[in-house]
Structure 1
Amino acid sequence: MDEVIAVFRMVGAILAGGESRRFGSPKAFAKQNGVYFFNARLKRCVHLSKNYILSAIRRLWHAFNKKQAKK
């Protein structure tokens, strides 16, 4: 009998763009040890998968392009 081999692709998801009303500013752009939160998450995600999704509200899209992660 033939074996069925399933191939799964892992995709990382970074939820980085809420309103941050209580925090006061976008949490994705807060820094810890000089690194943006979203960059730290992205670096972890890249080690797990070459594919990732960054979810953010529309008004923050331009800011992610300006603060693009360094690989």
Structure 2
Amino acid sequence: MGQAREFDWVERSNGTVVIIHHGRIAGTLRGARAAEFLAEVDDDPQLVMARWTGNYRHGNERTAKQHPRNRG
């Protein structure tokens, strides 16, 4: 089974990159920032888009890891 994709991105003809999260625009990058994003997005697209939009590490990861349901 494939991994769920929360993020997607579109490169427009004018060089602008639009990052979409759950069907809504999460960020728009232009110029040098768009070029930097395009160079980096090939590694792990979901992680890269999460970092670029700020939807990354909310501080509750440690708490969730210690929850009885998530203990190994």
Scaled by the length of structure 1, what TM-score is found?
0.23
State which structure, 1 or 2, has the greater radius of gyration over its C-alpha atoms: 1
TM-score, normalization by structure 2:
0.23
